[in-house]
Amino acid sequence: MIMSASWNQLFFQTTLLLVSCRHISTKTPGPTPAPLLPIGPLTNLVKTVEVRANESHTVELLERASVELVCKWAGNENKPQNVTGYWTKDGSEIKNSSVTVQLEKEQYVLKQMFTVLNETDLGNYSCVFGNEAKAEFILAVPQIGEKRDKPIIGYANDFMVIQCKIDDTKPVPTSWKWARMNGTEKEPIVAAAESRRYKIEIEERKTKLFFHKMTKADAGLYSCGAVYAIGTAYSQVELKIITFWEPLKLFIGILVEVIILVAAILIYERSQSGKQCTKENGPNPDQRNSMTQEENNDEEGGSAVRQRKV
């Protein structure tokens, strides 16, 4: 689809006019029959989603549903009476979805009812108006909001917990599952089998994967999946295992710096006060006596005078 600059301008102006348009109520039945025949009783979830051209909208689905997608387009400079509209899924055109759209009230409206029965029915659905305008609907399960893009650092022989949480505003998944990514393959983690290494805790909206005692072999990508009736949402996190030697190197460097600094301070002071006896520790009477001795040495005039006097 290639949009011309002039179409953009016109679209913007007409969008302002169309802002007053209202939502179609969900009770309106779809005019065109669904391409797939429903199998068995379908949940009564009929969602109607309406977008303007060139917009993208995410539809969250938990279970099997019938979804009606509506596209509205204001047209370009010359408004032909009819325009061909069709639907694509994930880029490729859906068969038998092409219809002729009439110009009604200065806009073209393209509607289609889709049934979503399993995970393969989810995806990117787009409506296309005769190679000129396009709008996108993303049908997907609720995504896990908290994404941790920085790797988690764990220590060998330490215990660790990785957590996946779904937002409070989103619906509760039916279950969770964990897997370890081996390249592009997912190796599921089953806690019961290797209970000495892992433990999985599931709590409605969040799940935790415990490592009892980590080893270097545990490093890698882990993925948690929130399972809904219609599909699974994934989130990945990287676990890095290091030994204590890594920070210890830096720590020893700092320790050496402190020792050098303290030594330098003490040596400098010793060289400055060469003639005075230095006392680092000492009970009080000694301190006081040596203190007075120092003061005497400091004030050469005073002590000399005293001696002369006495």
Asked if 283 is part of the footprint of other proteins (rule: CB under 8 A), the reply reads yes
- Angle CA 53–58–61, to nearest 5: 135
Inter-CA distances, 300 with 55, 276, 293, Å: 91, 13, 11
Question: Which one among 250, 271, 274, 300 touches other proteins, defined by CB under 8 A?
Answer: 250
Using CB under 8 A as the binding rule, whether residue 284 contacts other proteins is answered as yes
Q: With beta carbons less than 8 A apart as the criterion, state whether 139 and 122 touch.
A: yes
Tokens representing 190?
């089953």
285 lines the binding site for other proteins (CB under 8 A): yes
Stretch that binds other proteins, among 10-18, 38-46, 95-103, 239-247 (CB under 8 A): 239-247
Q: Which range touches other proteins (CB under 8 A), out of 63-71, 94-102, 226-234, 257-265?
A: 257-265
Q: How far is CA 88 from the centre of its chain?
A: 29
Can you tell me which of 32, 131, 255, 270 binds other proteins, judged by CB under 8 A? 255
Interface with other proteins in residues 134-173 (CB under 8 A): 150, 152-155, 158, 160-161, 163
Contact 116, 67 (CB under 8 A): yes
Contacting range for other proteins; rule: CB under 8 A; set: 28-36, 61-69, 123-131, 299-307: 299-307
Closest CA to 174 of 207, 132, 214, 216: 207
Q: Does residue number 9 form part of the binding site for other proteins (CB under 8 A)?
A: no
Q: Which is closer to other proteins, CB of 37 or CB of 277?
A: 277
C-alpha 238/C-alpha 154 separation (Å) is 10
C-alpha torsion angle, residues 195, 198, 199, 202 (rounded to 10): -130
Tokens 């080893």, residue located: 215
**Least gap, CB of 266 to other proteins (angstroms):** 6
Helix segments in the chain, DSSP class H: 5-18, 245-272, 284-298, 300-309
Contact segment (CB under 8 A) with other proteins among 27-35, 61-69, 171-179, 250-258 equals 250-258
Q: Which is nearer to other proteins, 131 or 289 (CB)?
A: 289
Asked whether 137 and 59 are in contact (CB, 8 A), the reply is yes
CB 231, CB 140: distance < 8 Å: yes
Q: Does 275 bind other proteins (CB under 8 A)?
A: no
Residue 149's Cβ-count burial label (10 Å; 0-12, 13-18, 19+) is exposed
Smallest gap from Cβ 153 to other proteins, in A, equals 3
Smallest distance from other proteins to CB 281, Å: 6
DSSP 122: -
Q: Segment contacting other proteins (CB under 8 A): 27-35, 37-45, 126-134, 238-246? A: 238-246
* Interaction site with other proteins (CB under 8 A): 150, 152-155, 158, 160-161, 163, 242, 244, 246-248, 250-251, 254-255, 257-258, 261-262, 265-266, 269, 279-285, 287-288, 291-292, 294-296, 299, 301-302, 305-306, 309-310
